[in-house]
Amino acid sequence: MNCEKCQELIHDLLDGTISRSDEFALNTHLKECLDCESVRQDLSSIVTFCRSHRGEYDAPPNSQALWLRIRNVVEAEAANVPVKSKAVRKSFLAELMGRSWEMSLPQLASFAVAIMLLVSIVTVVAIRRGGNNPGPAEQPREQASNINERVWQRQQVINYWKQRVELNKARWSPEMRDTFERNLLVIDQAVNQSLNELNRNPHDEISEQMLNESLNDKLVLLKEFSDL
């Protein structure tokens, strides 16, 4: 006899409906199997207890109200479900973090393909959006304003050094003052020449290079003469 069949027969035994042959077989098994014997003893003590205390427990006076209270408790618990799910999510995250990320070759390959697809889609979208940029007529204007803004920024630094030079100029000899003014004028002419060219053609690399260099030259000249 196996334990499953034995536990079925234990119920019959306790109910007193077991046949003699089954009772014999059951007793034989119970002598050999301690687990089934333990189950028989537990069930037997429950049945004995119930039989001895029969009639002591009455039904609740308002069974309908009892069911309502039970339903309220169930609904209240149902209302707490998000909290529970949050806890579940937390545990999921924790599980995710704690998980080993070793991937098989096919997994890796599919992951790489997914990334490539994503990058391609993003690139295509970016290019299409790029096509929506200001038209060719607006671009030079925008670039010209960028150049003017950059020049303006440099001019702020130049103005600072110019002020410092102005403070010292009185100490110079008239020849030195003339030389300085003459050379500053030459550099300013170069700056203006480059700016005019850039306003005409904002893509002109040479004019941009010349503008940068002449602004640098001006700054260096002012710095050098601010010490004098």
Chain residues that interact with another protein, rule: CB under 8 A:
171-173, 175-176, 179-180, 182-183, 186-187, 190, 193-194, 197, 205-207, 209-210, 213-214, 217, 220-221, 224-225, 227-228
Q: Which of 26/210 has CB closer to another protein?
A: 210
* Residues 6+ away with beta carbon under 8 Å from 168: 225, 226, 227, 228
Asked if 201 and 181 count as a contact pair (C-beta separation under 8 A), the reply is no
At closest approach, how far in Å is the CB of 190 from another protein?
5
Burial 30-58 (b: 16+ CB within 10 A, else e): beebeebbebbeeeeeeeeeeeeeeeeee
At closest approach, how far in Å is the CB of 210 from another protein?
6
Asked if 14 and 8 count as a contact pair (C-beta separation under 8 A), the reply is no
Q: Which of 12/217 has CB closer to another protein?
A: 217
Q: Which of 145/179 has CB closer to another protein?
A: 179
Q: Identity (one letter) of the amino acid at 96? A: L
Q: Which of 157/190 has CB closer to another protein?
A: 190
* Residues 6+ away with beta carbon under 8 Å from 147: 195, 198, 199, 202, 208, 211
At closest approach, how far in Å is the CB of 154 from another protein?
17
Asked if 193 and 208 count as a contact pair (C-beta separation under 8 A), the reply is no
At closest approach, how far in Å is the CB of 143 from another protein?
18
> From CA 211, how far away is CA 217, in angstroms rounded?
10
At closest approach, how far in Å is the CB of 151 from another protein?
17
Q: Which of 74/170 has CB closer to another protein?
A: 170
Which of 220, 222, 198, 200 is CA-nearest to residue 210? 198
Q: Which of 56/205 has CB closer to another protein?
A: 205
At closest approach, how far in Å is the CB of 212 from another protein?
11
